[in-house]
């Protein structure tokens, strides 16, 4: 190999596979016919004709380069060297941009519909088989999952504990379970579910939820003909507790104002004057 300058002037240099695996490419080139050929070197980097990495691949015409960063453009060129370690000029340059990896799916929305029904909405279309597999879901403390349904969008899952109707968007999953208890914190763990491209959700995606007991009136006292007092079982929302239209009295008595104390459990209703001895319903 006496004249290596321009050695690759008529040699085709190609990338055979743009992306075999994440962060890797395979480069390939036609062999040199010189009898004293010893091997080849691959030069590459993220700037054209400015290569910061070199690999001596020996006497082979195909090589897979790994540990590349997705989303970047890489430029490649090849040289040949002989047994005397004389090296040729660079081949023609080729380049490739590695596409960023697909992100695994995530739960975009969760709703505890009722004690027997849970809704999940994923951010992308999911693989139906993994989506409907009951063993991919667990609830803690233990609640039996009876069935899982998906809609035609492959993004909506309904988990049935007893009964559930599927949302028609295909990103919603409904899990049907045995009945939950009120005021108990449950954790729904999701794993092994894949989207339509085969990307598996991040392992052990956990959603925490509680079915709260609705408030009740634990004490009622007509203070005087113009005042009624209610005591609720839990702290109330001030806006809803003091909204006059949320209360009615029969036979009709006008409600003038509603107050709530600092404990947010005691409500006082101020009204027009009631008639003594008459029965009213609040």
pLDDT of residue 7: 46
pLDDT score, position 14: 47
Regarding pTM above 0.75, the answer is: no
Residue 10 scores a pLDDT above 70: no
Residue 282 pLDDT > 80, yes or no? yes
**Predicted local confidence at residue 70, as pLDDT:** 82
Determine the Cα–Cα distance for residues 43 and 40; give it in Å rounded to an integer.
10
For the chain, domains (ranges, CATH) are 13-97 (2.60.40.10), 107-210 (2.60.40.1220), 217-271 (no CATH)
How much is the pLDDT for 169? 52
Instruction: Specify which of 108-112, 141-145, 199-203, 242-246 reaches the highest per-range mean pLDDT.
Output: 242-246
Nearest to 191 by CA among 240, 141, 133, 147: 133
Averaged confidence pLDDT in the chain: 81
Ranges 102-116, 170-184, 233-247: which has the least confidence: 170-184
Task: Give the mean model confidence (pLDDT) for residues 4-8.
Answer: 43
Residue 12 has pLDDT above 50, yes or no: no
Examine the pLDDT at 162 and tell me if it is beyond 50.
no
Whether pLDDT at 164 is above 80: no
- Rounded Cα distance between 274 and 282, Å, is 12
């Amino acid at each position: 190999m006496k004249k290596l300058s321009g050695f690759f002037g008529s040699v085709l240099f190609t990338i055979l596979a743009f992306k075999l695996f994440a962060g890797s490419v395979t480069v390939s080139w036609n062999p040199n016919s010189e009898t004293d050929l010893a091997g080849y070197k691959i030069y590459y980097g993220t700037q054209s004709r400015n290569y910061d990495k070199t690999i001596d691949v020996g006497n082979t015409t195909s090589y897979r380069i790994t540990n590349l960063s997705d989303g970047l453009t890489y430029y490649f060129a090849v040289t040949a060297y002989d047994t005397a370690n004389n090296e040729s000029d660079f081949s023609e340059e080729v380049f490739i941009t590695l596409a960023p990896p697909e992100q695994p799916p995530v739960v975009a929305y969760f709703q505890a519909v009722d004690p027997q029904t849970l809704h999940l909405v994923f951010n992308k279309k999911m693989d139906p088989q993994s989506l409907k597999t009951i063993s991919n879901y667990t609830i803690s403390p233990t609640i039996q999952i009876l069935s899982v349904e998906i809609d035609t969008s492959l993004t909506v899952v309904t988990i049935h504990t007893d009964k559930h109707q599927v949302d028609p968007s295909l990103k919603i999953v409904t899990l049907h379970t045995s009945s939950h208890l009120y005021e108990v914190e449950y954790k729904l763990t999701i794993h092994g579910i894949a989207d339509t491209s085969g990307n598996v959700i991040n392992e052990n995606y956990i959603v925490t939820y509680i079915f709260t007991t609705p408030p009740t009136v634990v004490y009622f006292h007509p203070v005087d003909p113009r005042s009624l007092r209610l005591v609720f079982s839990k702290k109330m929302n001030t806006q809803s507790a003091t909204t006059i239209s949320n209360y009615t009295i029969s036979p009709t008595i006008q409600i003038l104002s509603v107050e709530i104390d600092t404990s947010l459990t005691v409500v006082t209703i101020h009204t027009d004057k009631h008639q003594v001895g008459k029965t009213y319903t609040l």
